[in-house]
Structure 1
Amino acid sequence: MQPNGGIDQACGIVALECDDPDDAGFWTRVAEARARVDAGFALVFFSSLRFAAGPLGTALAQACPDLRYAACSTAGEITRAGVSEGNLVVILFPAASFRIEALCVRDLRNAGMERIVAQVGEAKRAFIAAGAPEAESTANRFALCLIDGLSFAEEAATAALHWGLDDVPLLGGSAGDDMRFGATTLILDGEPASDAALLILVETPVPFHIFKTDNFVPTPNKLVVTRSDPDRRIVHEFNAAPAAAEYARVIGIDPDSLSPMSFASHPLVVRVGGEYYCRSVQKMNDDGSLSFFCAIDDGIVMTVAEPAGMTRTTRAAFEAVRERIGGIDFVLGFDCVLRRIDARNRQVTHRIAEIYRDNNVIGFNTYGEQYLSMHLNQTFTGIAFGPGTAQETGA
């Protein structure tokens, strides 16, 4: 931990945070950190309620001219204090140990899988060709994505990105807007984008491992989607009854009491290939329908699940990663906002925060998570970097 408010790791990654939009000294610290590690790329996560995209981009350009960066608005930030809201987080990657390229995939709703696959495949080939001749193995490459969390296209886009990347593993998070559900913000090198995905290709000698964890257990209770609007991810009916009323009946509460806390405590899951994946409810609408974070359609059978042991499963996931790569130096994390709500509801926020602090997790709360080819909900996805030394990383 550095006295300037950053996290400075052996692998060279530096993370700094700020909760005051008027803190000019923050950008001085960012500039100093950039110079210290010779950073070539930055990830920026910010609360759109506290930090405006325009001034943020201007301040970063003035502090660090020519620094490439990808940014997105969030539904909360993971900082040194754990999970909080109203922050700005800047993560700097040293050029000596992280070769990074980024592109923007636009018009997700209308792009079509073939166009995305072709664009990503071309970018991947160019990225590999530009690398060192000895870096032939894909074992030291991964890809990050930041996706508009209100694009209604995350499933198809994630599958297309994964297909275009082929053997390069993918993970990431869906941008949020502080639970307002109006519009999210993506920025690549000062250029804003919506209905888009930012894809960041990374090559590094630093040991890393991509992982995910969740904590829901399926129950016998089933809900069949009998009337829906797939384009807007709205379910009007479950089991031929009004969606909100039927969901409330099955989980045993009054429909008027439904809230984000209810949806976090009683997630809905679907079974794919023998595994269960969350299809979380975003909100209840005035007409009694339910809006979802993930794709839905008529005929889908959803199972009501119950979260169980978030602290235990989260700690176990990090312990497994630590054993796999010989220790954890830094974790870039994408944590579903519904996990944050559920942790608060179950009064385990401080325990989850402690796990994140112990493992140097920095990232943001999402409207959905990407893991390989899947778009998920109510999941933590992350990439852990091992304790590479300055000599090993070339720093």
Structure 2
Amino acid sequence: MNSAISAHSFKTTTSEAVADLLEQLGPGNPVVVVFFCQPDHDGQVVAAAIKERFPSAQVLGCSTAGEISNQGSTTGTLCAIALPKSLIRRAGSAFADYQQGGVRQALGGALQSLSRSLEIDPRTADPQRYVGLVLIDGSHGTEEETNAHLGDMAPFLSFVGGSAGDNLKFKQTYVYGPGTTLKKGCALCVLDLAVPFQVLKTCHFQATQKRMVATKAQGRVVYEFDGAPATEAYAAALGVRPEQLDFDLFFKNPLGLIIEGKPWLRSPQRADPQARSMTFACEVWEGSEVFVMTRTGDLVEDSRQALERVREELGTRVGAALLFNCVHRRVELDRSKGHEEFVRLFDFPMAGFHTYGECWLGHINQTLTALVLGQAQ
């Protein structure tokens, strides 16, 4: 196996789907296999079967709000990507169960395990050589704490990934490994790369002139913007009444932090008419200035331009990519019937999923993040 291989099964039962997936992956000795499965599949069965086929590979995966590969952007399926030694010298993976001691303790243990297996210090590892993948459960709101602790414990390493989904049921999500199913926790995989890499982050939104300060907030709930009830301030910024706030308005008008000229989006989830508060899919820090955002154009065209920028920065052809695409973007592609056009952007092996949140330097919404690897020479 000299090149990455992407596979995608549309079989409905787990046993049929994983057999189909393994047939597509074929023989070989990949260093890492990452899979993404619809929530009704038994992900532990998938992980065990992949590990049995490729015993030396690091295997990790999660449930999704939709699956992405070169064969399509879908729901109700199973996809995976196998990454070979020509791209990755070696890799280590570990699982952090937050039900055993909390987020910080579990992450610390996982990073210690990675440190031992790769014989590196996460605090000083070369960020040009090593990069991390992170898959977090999307049910418990631990993403901000996870990213904060990763930043403290491995300050120079990039961790790219997303939050597991359950196809918009919002009941229970899962992170998987061989013999491991986490309902509350994350999977980490650190890659020792043999090729250059870039992190892609893009969204087709820009800031309007309407800005607010979160004057009273806790976690993902904002009680006041600019000293006024959150629902009233947000509605006024949109030019509507608080009782008119609904999914479509939230969908089209997220809020954004602007950091070094780039937007980091926070998606409104719901408005509480009694408390006049708003809950977001991402933390809004008390005292932070946020802008009402508006779309700049087409999702697919924005993604194409972002991919072209990454190709230029990479300085070589792309060998593989893992995609983490917000479920809000999936909904937009559903409405515009743009899934096929989106998938055609990627003329190299790739796989990924539609997420409940995206990870890179923090937790964000309504964004595409991706780990893009150069082609082996």
2:168, 2:372 → 1: CA distance? 27
Partner of 2:320: 330
How far is 1:212 from its partner? 1.3
* 1:65–1:138 CA distance, 2 compared to 1 (3 A): closer
Structure 2: any 5+ residue segments left out of the alignment? Answer: none
What residue number does 1:354 align with? 344
Give the TM-score, by structure 2 length. 0.84
2:69 corresponds to: 79
Map of 1:269 onto structure 2: 256
3-state SS of 2:200 partner? strand
Unpaired stretches in structure 1, ≥5 consecutive residues: 1-9
Relative to structure 1, the CA distance from residue 205 to residue 55 in structure 2 (aligned partners, 3 Å threshold; closer, same or farther) is: closer
Matched, 1:43 2:31: no
How far does residue 31 in structure 1 lie from its aligned partner after superposition?
A: 3.6
Question: Which position in structure 2 is the counterpart of 1:103?
Answer: 94
Mapped contact 1:269–1:276 kept (Cα < 8 A): yes
- The 1:273/1:328 distance shift into structure 2, 3 A limit, reads closer
Tell me, yes or no, if the aligned pair for 2:200 and 2:371 is still in contact at 8 Å: yes
- CA change 1:260–1:102 in 2 (3 A) is farther
Matched with 1:7 is none
CA contact under 8 A between 1:209 and 1:325: conserved in structure 2? no
The answer to whether structure 1 residue 379 and structure 2 residue 367 are counterparts is: yes
The match for 1:4 is none
Cα offset, 1:209, TM superposition: 2.0
- Match in the other structure for 1:210: 199
**Once the two structures are superposed, what CA deviation does each residue of 1:12-39 show, in whole Å capped at 9, x if it has no partner?**
2222112323275543344445552222
The equivalent position to 1:167 in structure 2, one of 151, 156, 159, is 156
The amino acid across from 1:280 in the alignment is: S
- Once the 2 structures are TM-superposed, how far is the Cα of residue 248 of structure 1 from its aligned partner? 3.6
Map Cα deviations across residues 241-295 of structure 1 (whole Å, 9 max, x no partner).
Answer: 5544543443245656544443221110123455431111234457564321111
Aligned to 1:126: 116
Following TM superposition, where does structure 1 have runs of at least 4 consecutive aligned residues deviating by more than 6 angstroms? none
Distance 2:287 2:320 in 1: 42
Is the deviation greater in 11-20 or in 267-276? 267-276
Q: CA deviation at 1:178?
A: 1.3
Aligned length: 370
Is structure 2 residue 292 aligned with structure 1 residue 304?
yes
5 Å matches for 1:256-295?
258-272=245-259, 275-284=262-271, 287=274, 289-295=277-283
Structure 2 contact 131–191 (Cα < 8 Å) conserved: yes
User: 2:290 is aligned with what amino acid?
Assistant: M
Return the TM-score normalized by structure 1.
0.80
Offset at residue 81 of structure 1 (A): 4.2
Cα distance in 2 between the residues matched to 1:95 and 1:32: 20
Distance 2:272 2:100 in 1: 23
After TM superposition, give the deviation of residue 376 of structure 1 in Å: 1.7
Match of 2:222 among 235, 240, 243: 235
Query: What is the DSSP-based 3-state SS (H/G/I as helix, E as strand, rest coil) of the residue aligned with 1:263?
Result: helix
**Aligned-pair CA distance for 1:61:** 5.9
Matched residue type, 1:370: C
Structure 1 pair 383–237 and aligned structure 2 pair: CA distance change class (3 A): same
Aligned-partner SS, 1:182: coil
Overall identity of the aligned pairs, in %: 26
